Structure 1
């Protein structure tokens, strides 16, 4: 009875839950793979305990989430930190925070749960993005290709003597007749063009390739292209869709544009819904005024889905330039090319070959319709797309 009485007194003497005030401090965003520190400050109105224990809920995008932290009071306040690491791209949510503390005798706990609703944007890692984008742009701007950058753009700049290697379409016949020698027009690359990065985040793009989902590789490649295009003076927008539009960021430019695109990309998640290309692409077309370049990361697994996509593409090609970026399926190609050893190997190879033939047919139809198609290994999609986009700008197609 004495122990029970002491425990009851300890519970009564402990600071009440209503006297506790918690303040949560967290960064708005962090790169994938980077460490993350979450700070919590606890304060009691009066008679604080010696220490307080804190715990958060668990989020799959944060390693070591849901751990415990202990903080001793110095005066009326105590500060605790949670050391975590961002393990995946997306938006990490911390919804609840638990706290508990002993009474003065150490026999009883008081505990409280707070709803915090803290969102942390896990952004694509920019170290490889900047490096690969800079390397792709250097290949276009320097060395032998540098001469092609002036003379094939979209804005007229000056007249010059026709040289070997220049396009015949650049010859100005009127001025050539007056000068009695061939004279060609020089152009400079147009800037302030509109580039829209469109990511299909439907079921087909959720398939993993070498342990990484296609949509994650597409986001990484899109970040490379956005970085390169903004450096080249263009406006860049970002859109994502599955069964309906999910992310819609209109074209932006300026020093803070890339940060806005990164935050938009962080909210793109794998979906179990089939992609609706008609809804996704037509919603984008309705918001475009001037001619723009749509760089579309997508995937198609059967002819029925491909037919719907081709139908949605047709009206867009009348005004805009469409550049499709497809990731090669190395595993499917390996199954189709593998020598058979059993009966099941033959059926697998035939099925894989049929899927690859349908894929080639869709790509051929897209090119006949006037769209550009880049098909590259998953790790090289961003670099190949940058090279192709800059080539199109040099030729005045963009």
Structure 2
């Protein structure tokens, strides 16, 4: 607009008749700016300290690897309609500079802006201010308001995923997230009670002696033996924090995938009346949380997992075995989250894995290279692609060989893509429990 006034005044030198028109237009423009400034910056009344209000509503903690909902509340206290531009200063870890929202609010109107953030690192995140730029219907000036500076939020392991699995388990809908229905093979040896037969009960559990004692002249009342799952079995998640767990996948490291899966599995184990514990290790053993199922155990597990960080050193399995032998005396289910890329790398640790499997039920969980799998699924169109696919087939074959070799020594395994880790781990736990192995 200012460029237009400059051109108008320049043209007035050639056409003097335009000079009064240019001055009038410029005066009207200055008057409009003064009116716009008065409308924007005039002080509010006593009740409304500011003519515009905004607030960011963010949870006290965010869930790592999940889309966390946030809202920005806007309230127009002006006596006229305004257009606003909202710039939210989100933590630098997100590396986003495009968080700009636009809205139009009538007099005394309120609006809510909803958006989501997906953190990929655990730790503390610092939010800046919510910057609101307000324009009057004239649109000549903007007034900036700032709200909510200095908000610090902790990012914890994926508790949203944990709650999702907990809800689905409570409503018997775990199959919606890939958890299979496991048919129980036989019964637990823990007797619970004798109760009347109801439709759907296993006829093999009929207690004929109890039925004879409680026979009714009007008809036979069948009695069955009711059994309950064996409870209070120790379940430990052993989490490798060595350099092999530093590999990234969709923004998260393999360590974060293992931590999220451990949180979900521990919660499922507690729901199944088992005891859940955590052990972290790398070049030395980190933290050991003994298996328990008291009410505060999940909070302890979450706090332990929140503080874990990847180390860039080689994992010491000898130290792991020594600590497990010293501190975990009762036979337990050990879920070892690690990663092996080659058979030779696994064979170096095999003696310690075999010793762990001798005293406990060991389940080794390691990861499939999804980018390599995508390469192998593509058709080969040139010599270079054929060469890459040949090398890729060798690495994929070694992963399968690791599974076979561990199975020879009675060690359970899961080879999974990172995104399927949680569902596959829960499936395996429920399968082992249904088979009565724990």
Q: Does TM, normalized by the shorter one, top 0.5? A: yes
- Equivalence for 1:253: 293
- Give the structure with higher Rg (CA): 2
Matched-pair contact (CA < 8 Å) for 1:89–1:266: no
- Identify the range of structure 1 (368-377 vs 228-237) with the bigger mean alpha-carbon deviation: 368-377
The structural deviation recorded for 1:302 is: 2.3
Determine if the alignment matches structure 1 residue 31 to structure 2 residue 79: no
Cα RMSD (Å) = 4.0
Matches within 5 A, 1:197-346: 197-346=237-386
Matched-pair contact (CA < 8 Å) for 2:242–2:283: yes
Matches within 5 A, 1:105-144: 122-135=155-168, 138-139=172-173
Distance in 1 between residues matched to 2:351 and 2:386, nearest whole Å = 34
Determine if the alignment matches structure 1 residue 391 to structure 2 residue 431: yes
Shift in CA distance, 387/303, structure 1 to aligned 2, threshold 3 Å: closer
Shift in CA distance, 282/358, structure 1 to aligned 2, threshold 3 Å: farther
Distance in 2 between residues matched to 1:379 and 1:62, nearest whole Å = 21
Shift in CA distance, 248/147, structure 1 to aligned 2, threshold 3 Å: closer
The structural deviation recorded for 1:361 is: 0.8
Distance in 2 between residues matched to 1:394 and 1:154, nearest whole Å = 13
Matched-pair contact (CA < 8 Å) for 1:171–1:185: yes
Unaligned runs of 5+ in 2: 1-59, 71-90, 97-116, 127-151, 208-223
The structural deviation recorded for 1:244 is: 1.6
Shift in CA distance, 147/63, structure 1 to aligned 2, threshold 3 Å: closer
Normalising by structure 2, we get a TM-score of 0.57
Shift in CA distance, 235/60, structure 1 to aligned 2, threshold 3 Å: farther
Matched-pair contact (CA < 8 Å) for 1:205–1:215: yes
Distance in 1 between residues matched to 2:206 and 2:395, nearest whole Å = 46
The structural deviation recorded for 1:236 is: 0.8
Matched-pair contact (CA < 8 Å) for 2:242–2:314: yes
- Equivalence for 1:113: none
The structural deviation recorded for 1:287 is: 0.9
Give 3-state SS (helix, strand or coil) of 2:432's partner.
helix
- Equivalence for 1:71: none
Q: Deviations over 1:26-47 (max 9, x none)?
A: xxx83336699xxxxxxxxxxx
Matched-pair contact (CA < 8 Å) for 1:224–1:383: no
Unaligned runs of 5+ in 1: 1-28, 37-58, 65-84, 95-118, 173-183
- Equivalence for 2:122: 90
Normalising by structure 1, we get a TM-score of 0.62
Matched-pair contact (CA < 8 Å) for 1:136–1:383: no
The structural deviation recorded for 1:187 is: 4.3
Matched-pair contact (CA < 8 Å) for 1:296–1:322: yes
The structural deviation recorded for 1:128 is: 2.2
Distance in 2 between residues matched to 1:147 and 1:241, nearest whole Å = 32
- Equivalence for 2:413: 373
Matches within 5 A, 1:63-212: 87-92=119-124, 122-135=155-168, 138-139=172-173, 148-149=183-184, 151-157=186-192, 187-212=227-252
The structural deviation recorded for 1:289 is: 1.1
Matched-pair contact (CA < 8 Å) for 2:235–2:332: yes
Give 3-state SS (helix, strand or coil) of 1:219's partner.
helix
